[in-house]
Amino acid sequence: MASLSNDQLLQEIKSCEDLLTDRIADNMETFGVSSTVGRLLGIIYMNREAMTLDSLADETGMSKTRMSQVMRQMISLNIAEKEYVKGSRKDHYNVERDYAQTFISLFTSNWAEVVKRNTSLERRLREQIRHLETCLTEDSSEDVKVRMERLQQELDEWNTYYNWINNLVAFFESGEIFNHVPIITPNKKEEEQNEE
């Protein structure tokens, strides 16, 4: 009905995009990263080409230092990368454009780290238990033996669980997950649903 001017329309479109970016930022917190990570992801994604720290600072109103910190974090999380741009001295950053891939990167970064930390703790505790066992005397109380046995059991369950997580990470990282939970595009203009 009401016909809007070009500028008004652009304004409206921009505000829709901003809503999307805001939501990406929110959702990203589910991965345990600061919402600013999500915000930058959204901004660069919407921008459709690599951006510099200055342009990001501009867009967010935040300091360049913070942009630097966050982009570094994103690179370590495997959801962004520097892109060389001829003729420019500035670093240009781009982001993974495939949402599902981003999910997988964050998921696996997080859990691989957890598994790693865990494995070393387990090793340490196993040793400690082995040591304690040598300290048992025949007049050690029944209680102690039970607790010791239980602790062993805990560690076994613990180990089982983290092996599972480890396999889960591999299941995602290898892309096998897509064989069982496929990505379904509603309007299949393209046939190539599974490439990469």
Which residues contact DNA (rule: CB under 7 A)?
33-36, 52-54, 61-66, 68-72, 89-91
Question: Residue 83 belongs to what H/E stretch?
Answer: strand 80-83
Q: Which of DNA, its own copies, none does residue 146 bind to, with CB < 5 to 8 Å depending on kind?
A: none
Q: Which of DNA, its own copies, none does residue 110 bind to, with CB < 5 to 8 Å depending on kind?
A: its own copies
- State the alpha helices, DSSP H only, in the chain: 6-28, 35-47, 53-60, 64-76, 99-135, 142-173, 177-180
Report the chain's terminal Cα–Cα distance, integer Å. Answer: 45
- Sign of the torsion angle spanned by Cα atoms 29, 35, 40, 46: positive
Q: Which of its own copies, DNA, none does residue 128 bind to, with CB < 5 to 8 Å depending on kind?
A: its own copies
Question: Residue 193 belongs to what H/E stretch?
Answer: none
Looking at residue 95, what DSSP letter applies?
E
Q: Which is nearer to its own copies, 40 or 53 (CB)?
A: 40
Q: Closest separation between CB of residue 49 and DNA, Å?
A: 15
Q: Closest separation between CB of residue 71 and DNA, Å?
A: 6
Q: Which of its own copies, DNA, none does residue 55 bind to, with CB < 5 to 8 Å depending on kind?
A: none
Q: Which is nearer to its own copies, 62 or 148 (CB)?
A: 148
* CA atoms within 13 Å, Cβ hemisphere of 166: 11
Q: Which is nearer to its own copies, 6 or 89 (CB)?
A: 6
Q: Which is nearer to its own copies, 63 or 167 (CB)?
A: 167
